Amino acid sequence: MWGDEFGLWCEDSWNFLRPALMDRHGKAILTGTPKGKGIYFKLAQRETFDTNYKTFNFDSYWNTKEKGGFLDKKEIDDLCREMPQNVVNQEIYATFLENVGSVFRNVTGHVSKQIKPYDGREPVYVGADLAKTQDFTVLLALRQNGEVLRMDRFGDLDWVLQQQRISAFARSFNASLLIDSSGLGDPIYDSLQRQYEKVQGYKFTNQTKKELIENLSIMLDQGAITLPDNPVLLSELQLYSYTVSPSGLTQYNAPEGYHDDSVIALALAAWLLKGVPQGQIQVGFARRPG
């Protein structure tokens, strides 16, 4: 039996298939990328006490053209620079990670209880994630040094009141504002342009969301973001995860049944702070009439 992408298999799958090898003393070859410490990890550890098991580990560099393989070493190097370190460890170096699919590492290690109040002069960057069905609208302000100054989270408000609250929040810091302008957010963005001139829109696709989240993960890894002791924000960051489809497509989301509004708001503010080239972002400043 050959089982590929075995890191994605559930334990029950192996338990059902393993007995089929008994009658002819069959062998199983199980290949794939490590995904946490599930059944793949457990079987890999058996060789330490069971001679029927043998584990082989090859990183992506083993398959480069310089070593007789198929991959371009420069392509792997470029990927390593673009991806968060935990993703590199898992996807490139084939390392079993403690927290499967986790995007943000050591979240509590970035918390400070000594964040000073806003002094009214420094640049501030605000990210705004708009409420969808059963979600919350979250506004999050970052100061120039990466400290989270304030977070506002609310739901069950009509769009007119939400617009007023968003513009008032940004205006209190004279901040640059980046807002999710996808889908239902598009008319909200258009309306906000008439209320607040320092607003920009961010169009979400799978690729632009990937860029946004990976930028936040890298900034956290580099210590460029300082978090408050806010249980909602910290919980959402710790739960936020990614999946890789069989075709290799990486998708970032909160687990089913959980929220990610605070994560997206923080990521939008961090995007402004970092000054990442805007690419597919819809950007515009609108002057007030007259």
| pLDDT, tens digit (0-9, with 9 covering 90-100), for 49-82 | 788 999 999 999 999 999 999 999 999 999 888 8
Whether 82 and 188 map to the same domain: the answer is: no
For residue 241, tell me if it sits in a domain. yes
For residue 290, tell me if it sits in a domain. no
Whether 32 and 79 map to the same domain: the answer is: no
Q: How many helices (H) and strands (E) does the chain have?
A: 9, 9
More confident site: 32 or 285? 32
Q: Which amino acid is present at 16? A: F
Whether 215 and 175 map to the same domain: the answer is: yes
pLDDT (0 to 100) of residue 41: 81
**Cα separation of 3 and 8, whole Å?**
10
Whether 82 and 223 map to the same domain: the answer is: no
- Whose tokens are 């999710």? That residue is 180
Kindly tell me if the per-residue pLDDT of 30 is higher than 90. Answer: yes
Kindly tell me if the per-residue pLDDT of 285 is higher than 50. Answer: no
**Cα separation of 104 and 109, whole Å?**
11
Rg (CA), the chain: 23
Q: Of 46, 72, 97, which one is at a domain's C-terminal end?
A: 97
- Whose tokens are 């503010």? That residue is 269
Whether 49 and 79 map to the same domain: the answer is: no
Q: What is the mean pLDDT of the chain?
A: 86
Kindly report the CA angle at 242 between 4 and 263, in degrees rounded to 5?
175
Whether 90 and 162 map to the same domain: the answer is: no
Kindly tell me if the per-residue pLDDT of 133 is higher than 70. Answer: no
> Tell me: the pLDDT tens digits for 164-199?
999 999 999 999 999 998 877 778 888 888 889 899
Whether 50 and 67 map to the same domain: the answer is: no
Helix (H, G, I), strand (E, B) or coil at 147: strand
Most confident of 4-18, 183-197, 257-271: 257-271
Kindly tell me if the per-residue pLDDT of 38 is higher than 60. Answer: yes
Kindly tell me if the per-residue pLDDT of 281 is higher than 70. Answer: no
> Tell me: the pLDDT tens digits for 107-117?
889 999 889 98
pTM exceeds 0.85? no
Band the pLDDT of 83: cuts 50, 70, 90.
confident
For residue 46, tell me if it sits in a domain. yes
Q: Which amino acid is present at 248? A: G
Domain tally, the chain: 3
- Whose tokens are 């906000």? That residue is 192
In sequence order, the 6+-apart residues with CB closer than 8 A to the CB of 225 are: 110, 142, 146, 148, 216, 219, 266, 270
For residue 183, tell me if it sits in a domain. yes
The answer to whether 262 and 114 have CB atoms below 8 angstroms apart is no
Quick one: which of 95, 74, 75 has its CA closest to 85? 95
Whether 72 and 206 map to the same domain: the answer is: no
- Whose tokens are 């070493």? That residue is 73
For residue 102, tell me if it sits in a domain. no
Domain that holds residue 50: 1-56
Band the pLDDT of 280: cuts 50, 70, 90.
very low
At 270, give phi and psi (nearest 5°): -65, -35
**Cα separation of 264 and 253, whole Å?**
10
Quick one: which of 106, 74, 90, 69 has its CA closest to 244? 90
Quick one: which of 163, 142, 167 has its CA closest to 233? 142
Band the pLDDT of 99: cuts 50, 70, 90.
low
Whether 78 and 153 map to the same domain: the answer is: no
pLDDT (0 to 100) of residue 46: 83
The answer to whether 229 and 115 have CB atoms below 8 angstroms apart is no
Measured from the Cβ of residue 279, the count of other Cβ atoms closer than 10 Å reads: 9
